[in-house]
Amino acid sequence: MTAAAEVIRVALPAHLRTLARVQGEVRVQVSGQVTQCSVLDALEASYPMLRGTIRDQRTGKRRAFVRFFACEQDLSHEQPDAPLPEAVAAGAEPYLIVGAMAGG
Amino acid sequence: MSGVRVLVGTRKGAFVLNSDGTREQWDVSGPHFPGWEIYHVKGSPADPDRLYASQSSGWFGQLIQRSDDGGATWEPVGNDFSYQGETGTHQWYDGTPHPWEFARVWHLEPSPDDPDTVYAGVEDAGLFRSTDGGKNWQELPGLRGHKTGPSWQPGAGGMCLHTIILDPSAPGRIFTAISAAGAFRSDDAGETWRPVNRGLRSEGIPDPDAEVGHCVHRLAMHPSRPSVLYMQKHWDVMRSDDAGESWREVSGDLPTDFGFPIDVHAHEPDTVYVVPITSDSHHFPPEGKLRVYRSRTGGDEWEPLTTGLPQEHCYVNVLRDAMAVDFLDSCGIYFGTTGGQVYGSADAGDSWAPIVRDLPAVLSVEVQTLS
């Protein structure tokens, strides 16, 4: 929501934390508007091994069994360029990347 | 002292099994990438410390992992498998056109000469190559773009390119197999392809001896005699003596000619192994007896190998990429089951013992012979 560089909190699912070799939330810096697309761009720039695991590398389309939550809302079907909630942009709430619950 | 390293891909991770040349005591490491499907792990013949692994999940897609120290540590490399050019369609299960969609890498085939060059067979069927150690992948689109491509249909497990054989005697000659399109050969390093399915008969398709449409499960070749190919088809064990130009059935006296893997003894080009499975619906061994069958005559005449294998109440399957041989003087042979056992034989199949018993379902087994 703001043009200044913001530090965004991102919560990854366990498998992606292992892949990225991180524990707990990660923090990424986003310049310009804080959107799902800009957060994921910053996340993949910091952790290139995550490219393709959350969204398609070419089209940017969310993988079918990945969900995006924040502030108790399901943002999975929002436009990638829609602004994220102010609480996420301000770092008060994390942006949650969730592996959909399914068996196997 | 010589030794072997067995690379095991499972539904829930990879395992590396190490032993010295006696193959009696085993060190088991893993799971590597726990919770992920590891369709295949294979080492470079040019550098045994260089390994490639196909790691995937329904949630997070495809990754390729690379090890430069024999599997002790791994690094993710490139995972962009974008089809080249016009994507086109193949036939869906209901006969309608369906766009080619990348699902996963089934098989990785490192070059015999260059550790940085590796081929990937993928679902939906396509062949990719990396020449920079897996960082970047380029499709060889001539295969998917073959004129018969729009008529290819997936097998029950998906439309997978599961077999890649690089002919050691003829640079540029590559064999691939696709379920359920059949076997294909390139003589120009993957630029152009043609089906090599003459002699196959498949009763489950409208034209039993069609040019394509056969559910080939696996191909095998002995490097010293590359004109001879063996094939485990959905039904029928087949042999070609002319590099795939024609095939004849060599199922002979097998109890069932259905199965998935087929492999060749390291030192005896006429000694072939299969694991007969009851089908079309059971997909477990006949009579609950797990038996590897060996032919020492290049097919037709087969003997059951049972010593050390369960001969009652065994209802596991052995998948197409889950058998491999080592190159020690006394040829070792290994296979993994959907019940999580990996069996090994250090005497060419005469006797067997489990190396591990309780892994997740085994998808693939490869072995490296170490000096």
pLDDT digits (tens, 9 = 90+) for A35-91: 999 999 999 999 999 999 999 999 999 999 999 999 999 999 999 999 999 999 999
Q: Please name the helix (run of DSSP H) or strand (run of DSSP E) that holds residue B62, with its range, or none.
A: strand B61-67
* Per-residue pLDDT, A15: 96
CA–CA separation, B314 vs B109, rounded Å? 32
- Which of B35, B80, B82 lies at the smallest CB-CB distance from A15? B35
> Per-residue pLDDT averaged across B358-371, rounded?
97
Residue labelled with tokens 């087929």: B262
Q: Residue A1: inside a domain, yes or no?
A: no
* Per-residue pLDDT, B53: 98
* Per-residue pLDDT, B80: 97
> Per-residue pLDDT averaged across A16-21, rounded?
98
- Which of B35, B59, B79 lies at the smallest CB-CB distance from A52? B79
pLDDT class for B149, splitting at 50, 70, 90? very high
Q: Residue B283: inside a domain, yes or no?
A: yes
pLDDT class for A4, splitting at 50, 70, 90? low
* Per-residue pLDDT, A2: 47
* Per-residue pLDDT, A1: 46
Q: Interface pTM (ipTM) of the complex?
A: 0.92
Residue A45 carries which DSSP code? Answer: H
Interface with A, mutate which of B10, B54, B60, B87 (most A CBs under 10 A): B60
CA–CA separation, A13 vs B35, rounded Å? 13
Number of domains in chain B: 1
Q: What is the CATH number of the domain that holds B81?
A: 2.130.10.10
Asked if A51 and B62 come within 8 Å (Cβ–Cβ), the reply is no
Find the domain containing A86 and state its range.
6-99
Asked if B63 and A100 come within 8 Å (Cβ–Cβ), the reply is no
Residue B281 or A61, more confident: A61
- Which of A51, A58, A63 lies at the smallest CB-CB distance from B59? A63
CA–CA separation, B63 vs B81, rounded Å? 10
With beta carbons under 8 A apart, name residues in chain B contacting A13: 59
* Contact (Cβ atoms closer than 8 angstroms) between residue B190 and residue B140: yes
Number of domains in chain A: 1
* Per-residue pLDDT, B157: 86
* Contact (Cβ atoms closer than 8 angstroms) between residue A8 and residue A47: no
Asked if B63 and A51 come within 8 Å (Cβ–Cβ), the reply is no
pLDDT single digits (tens) B25-43: 999 999 999 999 999 999 9
pLDDT class for B187, splitting at 50, 70, 90? very high
Q: Which backbone phi and psi does A42 adopt, to 5 degrees?
A: -70, -40
Q: Cα distance from B257 to chain A (closest Cα, Å)?
A: 31
Query: The pTM is what?
Result: 0.96
Q: Residue B188: inside a domain, yes or no?
A: yes
Q: Residue A104: inside a domain, yes or no?
A: no
* Per-residue pLDDT, B279: 86
pLDDT class for A103, splitting at 50, 70, 90? low
Q: Which residue of A has its CA nearest to B58?
A: A65
Is the pLDDT assigned to residue B160 strictly greater than 90?
yes
> Per-residue pLDDT averaged across B188-211, rounded?
95
Interface with A, mutate which of B59, B102, B139 (most A CBs under 10 A): B59
> Per-residue pLDDT averaged across B186-207, rounded?
95
pLDDT single digits (tens) B309-360: 999 999 999 999 999 999 999 999 999 999 999 999 999 999 999 999 999 9
* Contact (Cβ atoms closer than 8 angstroms) between residue B67 and residue B73: yes
Residues 30-89 of A with CB under 8 A from B: 49, 51-54, 57-58, 63, 65-66
Q: Which contacts qualify for B16-25: CB closer than 8 Å, 24 or more apart?
A: B16/B70, B16/B71, B17/B342, B17/B355, B17/B356, B21/B328, B22/B346, B23/B328, B23/B332, B23/B344, B23/B346, B24/B346
With beta carbons under 8 A apart, name residues in chain A contacting B59: 13, 15, 63, 65-66, 99-100, 102
* Per-residue pLDDT, A85: 97
Q: Residue A88: inside a domain, yes or no?
A: yes
pLDDT single digits (tens) B249-273: 999 999 999 999 999 999 999 999 9
Is the pLDDT assigned to residue B165 strictly greater than 50?
yes
Whole-number average pLDDT of chain B: 97
CA–CA separation, B121 vs B312, rounded Å? 36
Q: What is the CATH number of the domain that holds A45?
A: 3.10.20.30
A11 bridge partner residues:
A96
> Per-residue pLDDT averaged across B100-124, rounded?
97
Find the domain containing B61 and state its range.
38-259+267-311
Q: Is B76 on the interface with A (CB under 8 A)?
A: yes
Interface with B, mutate which of A57, A61, A66 (most B CBs under 10 A): A57
Q: Cα distance from A27 to chain B (closest Cα, Å)?
A: 21
Query: In the A/B pair of chains, how many CB contacts fall below 8 A?
Result: 41
The share of chain B scoring above pLDDT 70, in percent, equals 100
Q: Which backbone phi and psi does A101 adopt, to 5 degrees?
A: -70, 125
> Per-residue pLDDT averaged across B101-129, rounded?
97
* Contact (Cβ atoms closer than 8 angstroms) between residue A58 and residue A64: no
Q: Residue A44: inside a domain, yes or no?
A: yes
Q: Is A13 on the interface with B (CB under 8 A)?
A: yes
